[in-house]
Amino acid sequence: MLGDNLTGFQHLGLPVTNMDASKGFYARLGFTEIMARELPRGGDKLRVSMMELNGFILELYQLPGAEGEAVKQRDDGHIDHIALDVRDINAAFEAIRAAGLTPLEDMPVFLPFWERGIYYFNIRGLDGERIEFCERVR
């Protein structure tokens, strides 16, 4: 379905309730912060930190308000999404639709991550997990 367009694992997304404490925890395990952003979200800020260890990227993000409070209530299942790299986000979007799967977004979404940004979209797995397809703009 995606053929040569899917190039590998991008990152694993983990919602956290205290960004500074979580970054410190993962730093003690050997992770290094390679990107950090604050994005506007409903009058507040969504904090994001990409932490890397030997090529594995962990996306820590702290949601504001009620969304952040909901994360605190989870017992298991704190891993929110897995992300896969693609060469061409638009081709991946069309391949997913052609396979009869439904993207959660109407079209690929741009975020100001890394040097030039990324485009992404998500689908749901069979148990509700989100699978993100991500193209890093080069």
Burial class of residue 75 in the structure, from the number of CB atoms within 10 Å of its CB (0-12 exposed, 13-18 middle, 19+ buried)? exposed
pLDDT above 70: percentage of residues in the chain: 96
What are the structural domains, with CATH classification, of the chain?
Answer: 3-136 (3.10.180.10)
**Worst-scoring range by mean pLDDT, 50-64, 82-96, 106-120, 124-138?**
124-138
Query: pLDDT-derived band of residue 76, with 50, 70 and 90 as boundaries?
Result: low
Query: What's the pTM?
Result: 0.72
Look at residue 87 and tell me whether its pLDDT is greater than 90.
Answer: yes
Two tokens, residue 129: 């997990």
- Report the pLDDT value the prediction gives residue 92, as an integer from 0 to 100: 94
How confident is the prediction for the chain on average, in pLDDT? 89
* pLDDT of amino acid 59: 92
Task: Give the model's pLDDT for residue 126.
Answer: 63
C-beta contacts of 21-25 below 8 A and 24+ residues apart? 22/49, 22/60, 22/62, 23/49, 23/51, 23/60
Mean pLDDT of 113-138: 88
127 has pLDDT over 90: no
So what's the pLDDT on residue 30? 83
- pLDDT tens-digit map of 27-49: 998 889 999 999 888 889 999 99
